[in-house]
Chain A
């Protein structure tokens, strides 16, 4: 085998080496320049509350709600499975006393719930805190981005494993969700179009009924014990510790989910209930409420918005034995 391009003259070689060095410098420089530009863009978008991931809007809404709300005895935190299902007014009417819902979204995960509990406890002390999360939450990644977004809390190193700590700090502003959210948010702001308006205490759910196809099963096929992320209990343990320290009754309930997922995920449900109990929380054993397909909205964890009152009542019945 011959290699013709070895036989170049020394002057040609140094010229090629020079252009290669310039090339490498431009390649590395271009990469760094773009990453820095994107990070600065994300940072500015975050500072101006323009990042529109699912969803900073709801975080700000809930923080504002908390700042002006009167103390309540029962506080609900969780993700969109709670937000799409829970009607604060209906609950208060059924329970005979006011309750507050501070649902965020799946992006924030358990970290977001922890953040909202800490924020709420700065204002008042409820008797009961109910966490409601989507059934598949334990299969998702550790919500470090949710943690950073829902800041400020105690320092990151105390809670998160070393590798995540490093990458979270380094990559937060370069995360594709954050960057995409920043771009979307800035574009919407530029054209003056509001995204994801708040309706009945949560992000407006789309006007689609039964939009989840009977085979849109990707979300629940992962409901298998081997898919549980062992890191997910990190924030649950923090919540349990906080509840124990403050003497608050903290309950964990799974949000409503497509009936097919209830069937497919029975072994998974048992396994995560054990994990959640081990983390120090009480699991509402009657949850989740299994939803027939026609009652679903746009995901297998969201009920149709016209059914909010019905599901709020259903969860009241389901949680009544656990409430103080």
Chain B
């Protein structure tokens, strides 16, 4: 069931919301949790009934392992470590089987010339997310950082439908205390806040992301079919995909936050204007924040983090990014994407290290006046271009398609202009018809290039994000170490140029209602979120 579908919006959600609040108002918090769990399983079963058994089995098995770890709390580390290892191995085994086995068998056959056959294994939706959440829980129970004996709360922590399919990857410490605490006096306020955030997310998905999908698909699907995009088409396709995935994921995150708020629950911020990043490190503190946090706390730090010197730190961060890339999917393009980000982060960290060493006077140990810094706008633009380039392997169906798109972006597939430009070229020979330029037209609608792309650049670079607009009602949980998630409720001492704040006022309600109406008119054919495939 898609968040942007009629059946979800007008059947599932109202029923779940009503039953939940009836149970809460009746003073039955366990029943309210039960309603949410039942709703979440119905929501999950809508994709495929068989998946429910995988989700349910995974939850139950992990709960038992966590309970066993907790029961062994007073014993020696070795036996507890063994239980934890079994738990993590079982989770990774499940994820590996469903997500990577087909790919590994295919690659093995390709490299060895063998012909092993494995039935096509369908990926249970959201498995990457709920598996990571449960691994984090097991590790924390092992670290004696909290075990909640309530199976009901644990079940809801894993299966809560707003974040079940595509995150955020929530932490038990931020979620489980919120379950069953009763917020019956705030139902309407939560409805207003959650509804507004949901509508903002819906608009991002339905109006922007889906519009950007059309030209992006045209170029990347064409490349997958062996058709080489020319310069403008290749850049247009890459830019449109960069905006598609941005607004698709941002829209999904807003919708998840809004939906959770309808049930009185706050989620952590997962998306904080990543195209405003001024470095790759900054980008990863803004894009898919909860994945980044998971990788930091449960992979990078256990690998040694920055505790063993710079060289080891670079290796650790590189490994973390490559595994983060592979987490997104089985295939070389995702691995390449992870490698690219790993290299960029290592370069970024090395640069920072070098700058820091230059900024300190070796004689006195004092900080010197900082070296020349590029203006923020140029930094943002440069990082944005790098990010667009790294999206190419992420979107390309295979290495061949990726190469064709990169070749197009480098101008190696020639330059094609709209046929209407041909007469102009005739008037200015040698200026607008240099060798290699043809007038074959563009695959991507020129209006999309000229109107959408500049408008969206302004939106992602200059405007506050939805959570900043909603900051007055504390819409999300901030994450330590991720400055962009810390939203100040009060107005800043020195207001920025454009910092609108949402208020519970009729005019804001009307604006939200109008946006919702436009989204409903656009509702012809709901499309899936890109992150559902991970």
A residues near B (Cβ < 8 Å) are 1, 5, 13, 16-17, 19-35, 38, 141, 167, 171, 174-177, 179, 208-218, 221, 264
Q: Which of B233, B441, B513 contacts A31 (CB under 8 A)?
A: B513
- Scan B179-198; emit 1 where CB is below 8 A from any A CB, else 0: 00000011011011001100
User: Is there contact, CB below 8 Å, between B524 and A215?
Assistant: no
B56 within 8 A of A: no
Known contacts A27-B196, A31-B517, A214 near B227 by CB under 8 Å:
yes
B residues near A (Cβ < 8 Å) are 6, 173-174, 177, 185-186, 188-189, 191-192, 195-196, 214, 217-219, 221-222, 225, 227-230, 233, 416, 419-420, 440-443, 473-474, 477, 504-506, 508-514, 516-518, 520-525
Provide a sorted-by-A list of 17 A–B residue pairs whose CB atoms are within 8 angstroms.
A5-B473, A16-B504, A17-B188, A17-B189, A19-B505, A22-B504, A27-B196, A27-B509, A27-B510, A27-B516, A30-B516, A34-B517, A35-B521, A213-B442, A215-B229, A216-B218, A218-B217
Chain B residues closer than 8 Å to A32, beta-carbon distance: 513
Q: How far is the CA of A38 from the CA of B522 in the complex (A)?
A: 13
B220 CB, nearest partner CB in chain A, Å? 10
A280 CB, nearest partner CB in chain B, Å? 28
User: Is there contact, CB below 8 Å, between A218 and B188?
Assistant: no
User: Is there contact, CB below 8 Å, between A176 and B522?
Assistant: yes
Chain B residues closer than 8 Å to A221, beta-carbon distance: 221-222, 225
User: Is there contact, CB below 8 Å, between A34 and B230?
Assistant: no
Q: How far is the CA of A300 from the CA of B479 in the complex (A)?
A: 51
User: Is there contact, CB below 8 Å, between A20 and B191?
Assistant: yes
Number of A-B contacts (CB under 8 A): 133
Known contacts A20-B191, A217-B443, A218-B222, A30 near B504 by CB under 8 Å:
no
User: Is there contact, CB below 8 Å, between A31 and B222?
Assistant: no
Give the interface SS of chain A, mostly helix, strand, loop or mixed.
helix
Q: How far is the CA of A269 from the CA of B527 in the complex (A)?
A: 26
Known contacts A174-B521, A221-B222, A20 near B513 by CB under 8 Å:
no
A27-B192, A216-B441, A216-B442 known; 8 new pairs, CB 8 Å cut-off, are A20-B189, A23-B192, A30-B512, A32-B513, A33-B513, A35-B517, A176-B524, A215-B230
User: Is there contact, CB below 8 Å, between B225 and A141?
Assistant: no
Q: How far is the CA of A212 from the CA of B441 in the complex (A)?
A: 7
Chain A residues closer than 8 Å to B511, beta-carbon distance: 30
Q: Which of B192, B225, B442 contacts A20 (CB under 8 A)?
A: B192
Known contacts A19-B504, A27-B195, A176-B522, A215 near B188 by CB under 8 Å:
no
Chain B residues closer than 8 Å to A264, beta-carbon distance: 225
Q: How far is the CA of A264 from the CA of B513 in the complex (A)?
A: 45
- Choose among A27, A34, A214, A217 the residue with the greatest number of B CB atoms under 10 Å from its CB: A27
Q: How far is the CA of A213 from the CA of B508 in the complex (A)?
A: 45
Chain B residues closer than 8 Å to A177, beta-carbon distance: 524
A184 CB, nearest partner CB in chain B, Å? 15
Chain B residues closer than 8 Å to A24, beta-carbon distance: 188, 191-192, 195, 509
Chain A residues closer than 8 Å to B517, beta-carbon distance: 30-31, 34-35, 38
- A-B pairs, 9 with minimum CB distance: A30-B513, A26-B509, A34-B517, A213-B441, A31-B513, A20-B189, A218-B218, A27-B509, A30-B510
Chain B residues closer than 8 Å to A25, beta-carbon distance: 509
User: Is there contact, CB below 8 Å, between A175 and B509?
Assistant: no
User: Is there contact, CB below 8 Å, between A214 and B185?
Assistant: no
Q: How far is the CA of A171 from the CA of B511 in the complex (A)?
A: 22
Q: How far is the CA of A217 from the CA of B107 in the complex (A)?
A: 30
Known contacts A17-B189, A31-B517, A141 near B510 by CB under 8 Å:
no
A28 CB, nearest partner CB in chain B, Å? 7
B371 CB, nearest partner CB in chain A, Å? 41
Q: Which of A21, A35, A175, A210 contacts B188 (CB under 8 A)?
A: A21
B400 CB, nearest partner CB in chain A, Å? 15
Q: How far is the CA of A92 from the CA of B355 in the complex (A)?
A: 82
Q: How far is the CA of A101 from the CA of B30 in the complex (A)?
A: 68
A26 CB, nearest partner CB in chain B, Å? 3
B331 CB, nearest partner CB in chain A, Å? 20
Known contacts A20-B192, A21-B188, A217 near B521 by CB under 8 Å:
no
Q: How far is the CA of A171 from the CA of B520 in the complex (A)?
A: 9
Least CB separation from B223: chain A residue: A215
B2 CB, nearest partner CB in chain A, Å? 15
User: Is there contact, CB below 8 Å, between B521 and A30?
Assistant: no
B194 CB, nearest partner CB in chain A, Å? 11
Known contacts A26-B506, A179-B521, A264-B225, A16 near B189 by CB under 8 Å:
yes
User: Is there contact, CB below 8 Å, between B521 and A176?
Assistant: yes
User: Is there contact, CB below 8 Å, between B227 and A23?
Assistant: no
